[in-house]
Chains A and B, each alone.
Chain A
């Protein structure tokens, strides 16, 4: 009799446990569904919220100045040069998750060069426009606004390449420090794009002459083809973490950044393909821009190269030679865990990269 009672009690407990499990599963499924629906109808994630003003704008170019958040600032202002393929809000995703906000709070006077999508009228932009006009003009504006002659530049990815070309062709100054974030210099070591841009098969002239502007979709496609599973994997992770608001906010901000990839001026694509990807002239020191030789050996200002261990867009082999190529005596490389984007944005960047950048730049900004 007592055995029967024990057996029925055990069965009831198991049944109750199973019911609780099913209830929990259904509740979660409903909550996920509700959240998914809300996300599908949500307006874009707000980004770039650190207080700033437009200091200068011309065509594709935007120069922003960020308001100080400290009583005093370092003497030397910092100009961040964004990659031409993406928007600069990756450095200012959200309060508490923003490299720019962090730098401003550390006492740096921050200026940022951001890009808008070039129009068909700007399809003729070349390296000359970016490095001999846009960057020098912005530097003049920063000097005028800050009242300081010296300036530090932080360039990200192709923004780093443009900054290097600027530095190599303006050896008289006023550049004081140069920081290159995930900046490739040996374009024969870029991995898959090197195979896809094989001059035997890739007719860049035909492409540029036909389209004028390389569409944002084409640029995105080129990035995504290098990690074809990434989008789906990201969505699966989102589904798994959808009840975690912090995760969702971060995902949406990164996703918005990815979706707002910029188109590229055709002539710029033609020139970078021929001179950098095929000729590898930044690496060999033969690159000529507007009659100036952009030989990296001419760069003598203090230089910091920050690179990521698992960067598939600027692989380690493509970034490694930078320190050997520049003529700077004060130079350093910081190799950190992470990828092309997680090096500069996200929780790991906040823990690993930002403090190192602050540490290196602060002592050179007085």
Chain B
């Protein structure tokens, strides 16, 4: 159990006590939430207006190119130093990794072919692939007439939606 889970449980009784006198707090919380939403909307709109200009795009890309240039020069310098010291460069390590991967893939293919010849029976029984939407609705109407309208997962899912999008 993680620390947060432990903490969460020990606080639950405190929370329920606090929730009893939440009406005033709820109003404050709602106002705060609305304030944050408004601020977020306005800030994003303003920033997007600025960042959506050609000037911004040019400046951002120029800056990125300058950073990449420095990165490239440093990599070249390091590569030369490592060569002088007879040490493998990053490029060498990458090439070596690729070779190992190729061997790995070749091994995998051989193993697959061998496995095809000696495949064990499935351990677990798979369900029949006979389900139809009609069979589902029929089962629902017999067992529980109200269940068709329910979505237990949807009912269980609660929590934040705003602010979750990338």
Point out residues on A near B: beta carbons under 8 Å: 24, 27-28, 31, 34-35, 38-39, 41-43, 58-59, 68, 70-75, 96-98, 101-102, 105-107, 109, 119-121, 146, 148, 191-192, 195-196, 198, 200-203, 206-207, 210-212, 223-230, 233-234, 236-237, 240-241, 243-252, 254, 258, 312-313, 338-342, 345-351, 354-355, 362-363, 366
In-complex Cβ contact of B129 among A73, A203, A212, A340 (8 A) = A73
B48 at the interface (CB under 8 A from A): yes
* Residue from B54, B71, B105, B156 whose CB has the most chain A CB atoms within 10 Å: B156
* Contact present for B136 and A362 (CB under 8 Å): yes
In-complex Cβ contact of A58 among B48, B105, B128 (8 A) = B105
Question: How many angstroms from the CA of A133 to the CA of B117 in the assembled complex?
Answer: 24
In-complex Cβ contact of B127 among A68, A192, A236 (8 A) = A68
B86 at the interface (CB under 8 A from A): no
B144 at the interface (CB under 8 A from A): no
* Contact present for A338 and B161 (CB under 8 Å): yes
Interface of B (DSSP majority class): helix
In-complex Cβ contact of A223 among B105, B163, B166 (8 A) = B166
In-complex Cβ contact of B153 among A39, A212, A236, A350 (8 A) = A350
In-complex Cβ contact of A354 among B71, B151, B156 (8 A) = B151
Interface string of B44-88 (1 = CB under 8 A from A): 100110011110111011101100100110010000000000000
Residues from chain A with Cβ under 8 Å of B2 in the complex: 42-43
Q: Quote the shortest CB–CB distance from A72 to chain B (angstroms).
A: 4
* Contact present for B153 and A42 (CB under 8 Å): no
Q: Quote the shortest CB–CB distance from B8 to chain A (angstroms).
A: 5
Closest B residue to A219 by CB, please name it. B166
Nearest 5 A/B pairs, CB to CB: A250-B159, A42-B4, A38-B7, A339-B165, A96-B156
In-complex Cβ contact of A31 among B14, B136, B164 (8 A) = B14
Point out residues on B near A: beta carbons under 8 Å: 2-8, 11-12, 14-15, 18, 21, 25, 29, 32-33, 36-37, 39-40, 43-44, 47-48, 51-54, 56-58, 60-62, 64-65, 68, 71-72, 75, 90, 94, 97-98, 101, 105, 108, 126-133, 135-136, 151-154, 156-166
In-complex Cβ contact of A229 among B18, B40, B130 (8 A) = B40
Residues from chain B with Cβ under 8 Å of A72 in the complex: 127-131, 135
* Contact present for B54 and A247 (CB under 8 Å): no
Question: How many angstroms from the CA of A39 to the CA of B11 in the assembled complex?
Answer: 13
Question: How many angstroms from the CA of A70 to the CA of B126 in the assembled complex?
Answer: 10
Residues from chain B with Cβ under 8 Å of A228 in the complex: 43-44, 47, 51
Closest A residue to B105 by CB, please name it. A58
Question: How many angstroms from the CA of A201 to the CA of B97 in the assembled complex?
Answer: 34
* Contact present for A105 and B153 (CB under 8 Å): yes
* Contact present for B161 and A35 (CB under 8 Å): no
**11 other contacts beyond A237-B163, A246-B159, A350-B154, with CB at 8 A cut-off?**
A42-B3, A71-B127, A120-B94, A195-B53, A198-B58, A224-B166, A237-B160, A241-B29, A241-B160, A251-B164, A351-B154
Question: How many angstroms from the CA of A200 to the CA of B54 in the assembled complex?
Answer: 10
Q: Quote the shortest CB–CB distance from A265 to chain B (angstroms).
A: 13
In-complex Cβ contact of A362 among B4, B8, B133 (8 A) = B133
* Contact present for B65 and A246 (CB under 8 Å): no
* Contact present for A229 and B165 (CB under 8 Å): no
Could you pull out 18 A-B pairs where Cβ atoms are within 8 angstroms? A24-B21, A35-B11, A38-B4, A70-B127, A71-B128, A74-B131, A74-B132, A96-B157, A120-B90, A121-B98, A121-B101, A196-B60, A207-B68, A230-B165, A240-B33, A241-B160, A245-B15, A350-B153
Question: How many angstroms from the CA of A28 to the CA of B132 in the assembled complex?
Answer: 52
